[in-house]
Chain A
């Protein structure tokens, strides 16, 4: 296990040297700030589901769910997903409404590295809620030649 971890971190070091442009946790905070503005982001309500370990960063299943009655008075307006080490911090934005019926969306994303993924949901009352998930990626996305 220790040898495996050492090999993995050596591999990651190589990746960092080769790839110039990548987001950082600070860039992710900036991207979140552009969406949220001055509003406070509270932990809770939204649930981000990602596998804790992914063998292939090219297609990682992602599911986000928000506890919400999804009525005209109380619904989820949007769900945004961010990563801290992909080339771009933004991953996807889902725009929902009362007609969505259930605030549950799933898709497949790319992850360039072992990192933290953050989901932020915006409710109809203007409040923001977040959840985060750590994913270990053994084969990073966008390394192979075309």
Chain B
């Protein structure tokens, strides 16, 4: 169903500020549109994105319907130690997708 893409450098120097890019497939239905028969299309959006680095939250975003379909995000974090960077998207209708990557820091 949902396809998530994350782009994180595989290695980094300690203390380096690295860019993280994420993309997830999701219609982000606003709840303000109507079908061709005039019926309101219910809202179905991703409400929250959280990025954790070895369990510590480093970045969080709260989405509203004004975020474009297939939400793209680019942000930065400090490479402090080797480990796992995990991403979680949660939203309407029980939507929940997690993704994680490993990074080695030297």
Q: Which residues of A contact B (CB under 8 A)?
A: 19, 21, 58-60, 83, 86-88, 90-97, 99-102, 104-111, 142, 145-146
Please pick, from A59, A83, A94, A142, the residue contacting B75 in the complex, using a CB distance under 8 A: A94
Q: A86–B66 contact, CB under 8 A?
A: yes
6 closest A-B pairs by beta carbon, nearest first, are A101-B17, A102-B76, A101-B78, A108-B68, A99-B58, A59-B68
B residues within 8 A CB of A96?
Answer: 59, 75
B residues within 8 A CB of A110?
Answer: 30, 65-68
Q: Which residues of B contact A (CB under 8 A)?
A: 17-18, 30, 32-36, 41, 53, 56-69, 71-78, 80
A residues within 8 A CB of B56?
Answer: 99
CB closest residue in chain A, given B29 = A146
Give the distance in Å from the alpha carbon of A84 to the alpha carbon of B48 in the complex.
Answer: 22
Shortest distance between the CB of A113 and any CB in chain B (Å)? 12
Q: A99–B77 contact, CB under 8 A?
A: yes
Shortest distance between the CB of A96 and any CB in chain B (Å)? 6
Give the distance in Å from the alpha carbon of A83 to the alpha carbon of B71 in the complex.
Answer: 18
Give the distance in Å from the alpha carbon of A78 to the alpha carbon of B71 in the complex.
Answer: 19
Q: B30–A58 contact, CB under 8 A?
A: no
Q: B62–A93 contact, CB under 8 A?
A: yes
Shortest distance between the CB of B54 and any CB in chain A (Å)? 11
- Assuming the contacts A87-B30, A92-B63, asked whether A109 and B75 have C-beta atoms less than 8 A apart, the reply is no
Shortest distance between the CB of A87 and any CB in chain B (Å)? 5
- Assuming the contacts A102-B17, A107-B72, asked whether A83 and B66 have C-beta atoms less than 8 A apart, the reply is yes
B residues within 8 A CB of A59?
Answer: 68-69
Q: A95-B62, A104-B75, A142-B32 are in contact. List 14 more A-B contacts (CB 8 A).
A: A87-B65, A92-B67, A93-B61, A94-B59, A99-B53, A99-B56, A99-B58, A100-B75, A101-B77, A105-B73, A106-B72, A107-B73, A111-B66, A145-B33
Q: A95–B59 contact, CB under 8 A?
A: yes
CB closest residue in chain A, given B80 = A99
